[in-house]
Each structure stands twice: as structure tokens, then as C-alpha cells.
A and B are shown apart, each in its own frame.
Chain A
Amino acid sequence: MTDRAGRRRRVARRVLPPLAVFLLVLGGWTVVSYGLLPPRRRFLLPPVDQVIRVGFLDPDNRAELLDALALTSRVAGTGLAVAVLLGVGLGVLMAQTRWLERAIYPYVVVVQTIPVLALVPLFGFWFGFGFASRVLVCVLLSLFPLVANTLFGIRSVPAAQHQLFDLHRASRWRRLVKLQLPAALPSIFTGLRIAAGGSVIGAVVGDFFFRQGQPGLGILIDMYRSRLAAEQMFAAVLLASALGIAVFVVFGALARWAVGRWHESAE
């Protein structure tokens, strides 16, 4: 009884403060829209209820938004999946031999340093404005944290733990599977969380630059803006933000599930 009450109180203590801030923001938004902005200029910040009514409750508009959300999620998800395979693979490879690290690392850093979004027109030019180009943008935006964190995680394995495997002359493969990868998992998950955010940004912002092909959330936002369809634009922006937040929460939970039982950084 008291246990359950205590639990409820703990949950309340965690949920209530951010909820209060959320309500405050909604309140402020409403005050600005209805109170401060004259009706003529209300498109600058359309009231919440209008955004919901026009953007989400109208069946046609909703279908348009959800289709775009589906496409953007698919692009971000595919990009992230490719980046995970490539990034963890590269990290593992680089951790095996110093010269491979020296050979590859500069280029991984280059990919991180160049403004990937500026290359978007080039990708469109080369590969068309379809799915592949959009995925490529996401991969380039999310690769670095995965490579860097995988490499760091593997390199951070204490020498004493390696000695356990030295004692039995364990093969490279066994060492990788039984020691290096599990030890690097918390670090890889940190990279994954950052990479997932990067991939969502790549999918949404990349869209702005494509402006062609099937519309994702970015193209929709841009289109609504040019039509001055403020309510729909806000709905699309909210949806894009929600996607980013959802990805953050999901990958946080995933990290806790995978390594939380033994690693404190996941807490």
C-alpha cells in the first residue's frame, strides 16, 4: 500500500514539473496568439486549437501529414540502420589494427566536418531526388558518432580484462564477441542515440533541399510556408519535433534495456 503510494509520488515528482512547463508554454502560446497578435497577423503564431483542428483533425490534411511522416521515418530509419552497420563495422575494423585506424579516421572526420547539407544538390544531381539520396544524407549525418563511440568503447577495455583472454590465447573473433563488443555497448548506445537524432535531422532538413519527389515532412513544411498555410505548417513542425523526441526516448529506453543492468551511464 504505502509502497504503491510512494511509487506514485515518485512518478508524480518526475512527471509534474515538465508537465507544468508544458502547460505554461501552451498557455503563453495561446496568450500571444489570441491576446497579443491582431487577427491579421495571427498567422505568425496560429493558436493551438486551430493548429490541431486544421492540421490534424481535417482528414485530408492529416493523411498528407501522416504520409509525409511515414516517408521521413522510413528515410531516417533506413539511414540509421545503414549507418549502424557501417559505423560499428568501421569502428571494429579500426580497433583491430592501428594502421587501419590511421588510414580511415581522417576521412570519417572529414565526413563529420563538411557541411553535408550543402552537398544535397550534388547528390540529387548524381543519384536523383529519390529515396537513395535522402538516405545517403542521413547516413553521412549519423556515421561519425557511431564510428567514434565504437572505437572509443573498444579501445577503453581495461588491459586486465584482455589478460583473461590472453591466458587462454583467445582468437581475435572471440575477444571481439565476448569482450570488446559487450564492453563497448554502453558507448555504442551513446553513439546510437546521437546518430538517431542526426538521422532525423538529415531526413527532415535534407527534404528542404530536395524540394522534389514525394514529399516528406521537410518538403511539406516548406510548401505550407510558401502557401502561408500557417496552421498546417505548425502541425508539420510539431510532428517533426515529435519524431525527434520519440527517437530520443526510444533509443534511451533501448540503451537502458540493453546495458542498464550493469552500466550506470545508462541510468
Chain B
Amino acid sequence: MTGASEVVTAPAPLLRLAGVTKSFPDGTDAVAGVDLVVRPGELVAVVGPSGCGKSTLLHLVAGLARPSGGTLTRATDRVGYVFQDPTLLPWRTVRRNVELFGELADLPRAERRRRAERVLAAVGLTEFADHRPGQLSGGMRMRAALARALLVEPELFLFDEPFAALDEITRQDMGEELLRLFDQRGFGAIFVTHSVAEAVYLASRVLVMSARPGRVLREIEVAVAHPRRPEFRRTDTFATLVGEVSEALAVGSAR
């Protein structure tokens, strides 16, 4: 919970969910009453047992699915979405993949090109702009997916376990990369992950969800200002928070 004085100075929320539920036609209750507020410059990590409705939650926020109940207010249309798989179109070069959302948003060609150059440089893929996804490593493909989402200059970023398929070293590199972009651009973000350490290292807040149907069990503030440094991983605060989140997660999964 944030203090009353903070609420006054905090920027208007990008996203507000109040009692949002989602049931599928087959009767599966995936999400049951989620309350959540995301403000600009806030990185909210979401952890929870498998199948608890984390991906569904992001779908709802992105407008890929409609809530069955509750209210969902989103203050921006500039939403970047990074899936667990890079999902690049194999017939397009990296550059053309990155330009895709620009095409769909009818950006003029020159503007698309200009933005693509910039975001490719931002994720360090300039040299590989003319390669096809099949010629890239897993980490590079993920960078390309990140660049593609960056092209729309998102105010709200949604990450669905984006680094889950990567090896530990690449995963940490990508985490640093993400933090760098976050510090530069100050977007709001929801970051779904299975890694408690990753959640604590990246996030301003960690949301712990219960087993299906997913509800928010606990919201744990990570009161360490961004930018974060790798040294943070070796502090007592970090260890305590990881313990706290893990414990909440264990309680949620046990039910």
C-alpha cells in the first residue's frame, strides 16, 4: 500500500483493474477478482503457480480478450507486448519484423525506418537487421521481439515470461537490458515471471497470485529505487524479499 501523500503526487495510472474476472466458455475460471493499478515508471512483477491466469491477465489488459466481470481502464493505446516465444515472422528480416507494428499502425515508411533503426540500435541488433530470425540465437530473437514492441513507443509494457526459454546468463543480460530501457523511457510495465529472484530484481512491486482461479494474494513493495545494479542481488534486502515472495507463493500454491 502506498501512503496517502504519495497518491496525490503520483502520476495518473496507466492501468486500473477493479475486481476483474475472466471465465472461459468451457467453465474455467481463470482470473477471479483482480485489483491492480500500474502507474508510469512502475514495473510490476507478477508471480504465481502455473495455470493461475497470469497470461490471461495480460490478454485482458492488451485487449486480446474481454473481462467477464469487473472494470478495466487503460489510459493508453501504446501497449508493447512481449510473449514468451519471440514469435517473429520467419519470412521477414529482423528489420521488417521490427517494422511490423508500424505497418499495422499505418506509420509512414520513412518514420517506420527511422524508428526501426533506433530500436534496433537500442537492443544492439543493428548489425543483424538484415538477417532472418532463423539465423539468430535465442537471445537475439528475444531482443528482436523486444525491439518490435519498442517500435510503438509503448507507455505500457506487458511481458509474459519473456526470458523463460533463455539460459541463465543470457537471461540476466536481458534483465539488465530491460532495466536500462526502463530507466531511459520510464514506461509502466507488468512483468510475468516464474523466477522469484528475477521478479524482485526488476520490479517496483511484486504481485503474488493464488492458484487458479487467480486472485492477488499479496502485493510486496520492493523499496529500492531504480536504477538497480547487479550488486542489489547480493544485498540482505534482496534475500529477505526473495524469501518473503517465495513464502507467499508457497502459501498460494498449497491451496
Contact = CB atoms under 8 A, between A and B. Distances in A.
A183 B89 CA distance: 8
Nearest to A264: B134
A174 B64 contact: no
A178 B91 CA distance: 10
A120 to B, nearest CB: 41
A167 B100 CA distance: 12
A23 B246 CA distance: 74
Contacts of B63: 167
Given A164-B89, A165-B104, A262-B90, 9 more contacts: A161-B87, A161-B89, A163-B83, A164-B100, A164-B101, A167-B64, A168-B104, A178-B100, A185-B91
Contact of B132 (A166, A178, A262): A262
Interface of B: 62-64, 79, 81, 83, 85, 87, 89-91, 100-101, 103-105, 132-134
Contact of A178 (B62, B79, B85, B103): B103
B81 A160 contact: no
Interface in A140-188: 158, 160-161, 163-168, 170, 174, 178-179, 182-183, 185
A178 B99 CA distance: 12
B103 A263 contact: no
A179 B133 CA distance: 15
B147 to A, nearest CB: 14
Contacts of A262: 90-91, 132-134
23 contacts: A158-B87, A160-B83, A163-B83, A163-B87, A164-B89, A165-B104, A167-B63, A167-B64, A167-B79, A167-B81, A168-B104, A168-B105, A178-B103, A178-B104, A182-B89, A183-B89, A259-B91, A261-B91, A261-B132, A262-B90, A262-B134, A263-B90, A263-B91
Contacts of B79: 167
B87 A183 contact: no
B84 to A, nearest CB: 9
B104 A174 contact: yes
Contacts of B89: 161, 164, 179, 182-183
Contacts of A259: 91
Contacts of A185: 91
Contacts of B83: 160, 163
A165 B90 CA distance: 15
A182 B104 CA distance: 16
A51 B100 CA distance: 59
A161 B14 CA distance: 26
Interface residues of A, number: 20
Main secondary structure of the interface of A (DSSP, over half): helix
Nearest to A159: B87
A167 B64 CA distance: 7
A250 B134 CA distance: 26
Contacts of A164: 87, 89, 100-101
B87 to A, nearest CB: 5
A179 B4 CA distance: 49
Given A168-B105, A262-B134, A183 B91 contact: yes
A160 B64 CA distance: 11
Interface centre among B62, B64, B79, B90 (most CB of A within 10 A): B90
Interface in A166-215: 166-168, 170, 174, 178-179, 182-183, 185
B192 to A, nearest CB: 15
B55 to A, nearest CB: 11
Contacts of A182: 89, 91
Interface centre among A158, A160, A168, A179 (most CB of B within 10 A): A168
Given A167-B62, A261-B132, A160 B85 contact: yes
B98 to A, nearest CB: 12
Contacts of A261: 91, 132
B105 to A, nearest CB: 6
Nearest to A258: B91
Contacts of B103: 178
A92 B79 CA distance: 31
A170 B91 CA distance: 19
A263 B63 CA distance: 32
Contacts of B91: 182-183, 185, 259, 261-263
A262 B93 CA distance: 9
Contacts of A168: 101, 104-105
A183 B100 CA distance: 15
The 4 closest A-B pairs by CB, nearest first: A168-B104, A160-B87, A262-B91, A262-B90
A164 B133 CA distance: 16
A200 B205 CA distance: 67
Nearest to A185: B91
